[in-house]
Amino acid sequence: MLMGSRFWAASEALTHPNHQKAALSANCDGTVRQRVTDIARGYDWPPAFSARVLNNRFVQDWEGRPDEHRAVAESLRADYQANVAAGDPDAVGEATGLIHDIIPAAAIIERTVSEAEAVIARLGSLRIAG
């Protein structure tokens, strides 16, 4: 998961509470890797980059039709952005299915550091066969 996505679910984030609620209630089986939301936002990432989002109506309407979507995305962008701002769950995305709590950013950092220290300690105790 990308750290930006994790901070999207911080209690201080300006993310609509409906989106955070939808993300918390989803599991990975209800999500899909896609580029639909980036096209809707006008982001032109290289093809290798995609995001896991809720497999919602908006994604289902456009997934697999990137050329058609790009052709109309600009004219639909204001409506998409309005739906995001209003908290429409059909416009939610960002690492859905991997987020399990809404906590302060400081707690996210503390947890990340603690988990990294545990991994480093575990790896440091391994003997490399040679």
Q: What is the mean pLDDT of residues 32-36?
A: 87
Better pLDDT: 78 or 19? 78
| pLDDT on residue 112 | 94
pLDDT for res 94:
59
> If 0-12 CB within 10 Å is exposed, 13-18 middle and 19+ buried, where does residue 129 land?
exposed
State the pLDDT confidence band at 32, using cuts at 50, 70 and 90.
confident
Rounded to 5 degrees, φ, ψ at 93 are -155, -135
Flag whether pLDDT at 27 surpasses 90.
no
Residue 65 has pLDDT above 80, yes or no: yes
CATH superfamily, domain at 3-124: Aldolase class I (3.20.20.70)
Rounded mean pLDDT, 46-53: 82
Domain ranges of the chain: 3-124
